[in-house]
Amino acid sequence: MSVTPLQALPLDELRQRSSTKWRKYPADVLPLFVAELDYELAPEITRVLAEAVRRGDTGYTPPDPGIREAFVEFSRRRFGWKVDPDHVFWTGDVMMGVVEILRRVIAPGERVVVMTPVYPPFFDTVEEAGGVVERVPLERVDGGWRIDLPGIRSALQNGARAVLLCNPHNPTGTVHSRESLSALAALAAEFGAVVVSDEIHGPLAHDGHTFVPFLDASPTATEVGYAVTSASKTYNLAGLKCAVMVAGAEPQARTLRALPAEVEWRTGLFGALANVAAYAPESDAWLDALLAALGQNRALLVDLLAEHLPLARFDAPDAGFLAWVDVSAYGWGENPSPHIRRQAKVALHHGPLFGAEGAGHVRINFGCSPDVLTEAVRRVAGIVPA
């Protein structure tokens, strides 16, 4: 069945927003850096939040805000993943959840594997939990990236105690295969390690790619893992503060039940209300329309780069609305983003923040209108020396 893509809001309306994307840089800069979307909220989310404001329902989050049931049903409906409701917990955001889990599965000074290039807060999160980052870069393969399983084996053999997985991967947009995830789980089991999987981009897999939740990859994954996720990336709810923590097996569930009560209290009431509304069946049509819009922009970006920046190296992401682009051939230095922002008036994310592999790279948010995306690439192409 054909789906009508969402239409992004006009720039003059977007510039009235007060979020980071629209307030960090002057109005003459096109902001394609931070992972915020340029679309209206899903109608069910708008309805629920508007009703809460009308009622003055702005107090503390209740002990059972309905997140558990909504997430379990969403996972069944969208991923075919059967989640044990007793293994679902919540907190303020994904990185909060990751920190709290890591604090309980590693000792201070123990090493945690991260697969670079990766979402910059991963580095700080491991350190906040008392761990030491062990970098195992993704392997570059034709058309994308994959987990370096021999590299992870070596890290675990040498004493790393946990793996912080990004699934799907940010910034490359890689949807890890069931085979890779199962093999990762087997390695963790072999060495008595734990896998914590950030799955915030899970609902955003593009046509031809199937998101596999880590805990559903194999029976072994269930025994060694945790997942942390949220509706915030898909539904543009980052400022409302709500995330879901999922335990694979009962021992992990006991660990999450033993977390201080404050971990759950950090969940914002509006975040809980919005996440429940996002996970409801009433929001599925909006999500399908978003995916259609992102699919069009993904294809458009491929064409725009080929036409205007032909020396850029880019593999279209399997999931999400973030593009990882190597522009090192243009000689704009290890961190091209500041030069591009100054000269082209386009703000892109800084490649080196994602790890050493990010030298010469930028990350582009294509969750915007086709016109904005086209104008941004043309502006960047305009600063290429003749």
- Contact (CB, 8 A) for 352 and 342: no
pLDDT at 386 over 80: no
pLDDT at 10 over 90: yes
1 pLDDT tier (thresholds 50, 70, 90): low
pLDDT at 172 over 90: yes
List pLDDT tens digits, range 34-49: 999 999 999 999 999 9
pTM greater than the 0.95 cutoff: yes
Q: Where are the domains of the chain?
A: 11-41+284-381, 46-282
List pLDDT tens digits, range 111-151: 999 999 999 999 999 999 999 999 999 999 998 999 999 99
Alpha-carbon torsion (77, 81, 86, 91), positive or negative:
negative
77 pLDDT tier (thresholds 50, 70, 90): very high
Q: What percent of the chain has pLDDT over 70?
A: 100
List pLDDT tens digits, range 234-260: 999 999 999 999 999 999 999 999 999
Residue 125 CB partners (closer than 8 Å, separation 6+): 95, 98, 99, 102, 164
Tokens of 377: 């690439």
Query: What mean pLDDT comes out for the span 45-69?
Result: 98
Tokens of 285: 């049509």
Residue 29 CB partners (closer than 8 Å, separation 6+): 341, 345, 346, 347
Classify domain 46-282 by CATH number: 3.40.640.10
Residue 251, classed as helix, strand or coil, is helix
Cα 239 to Cα 346: distance, rounded to the nearest angstrom: 24
Residue 182: the pLDDT is 98
Residue 308: the pLDDT is 98
List pLDDT tens digits, range 178-232: 999 999 999 999 999 999 999 999 999 999 999 999 999 999 999 999 999 999 9
Mean residue pLDDT across the chain: 98
List pLDDT tens digits, range 281-339: 999 999 999 999 999 999 999 999 999 999 999 999 999 999 999 999 999 999 999 99
Residue 385: the pLDDT is 87
Whole-angstrom CA distances from 166 to 121, 138, 148, 173, 196 are: 12, 11, 13, 10, 9
Cα 227 to Cα 216: distance, rounded to the nearest angstrom: 10
Query: What mean pLDDT comes out for the span 372-380?
Result: 98
Residue 143: the pLDDT is 86
Query: What mean pLDDT comes out for the span 79-95?
Result: 98
CA 191, chain centre distance (Å): 27
Angle at which helix 250-257 crosses helix 94-105, to 10 degrees, equals 110
Q: What percent of the chain has pLDDT over 90?
A: 98
Residue 317: the pLDDT is 98
Q: Which fold has domain 11-41+284-381?
A: Aspartate Aminotransferase, domain 1 (3.90.1150)
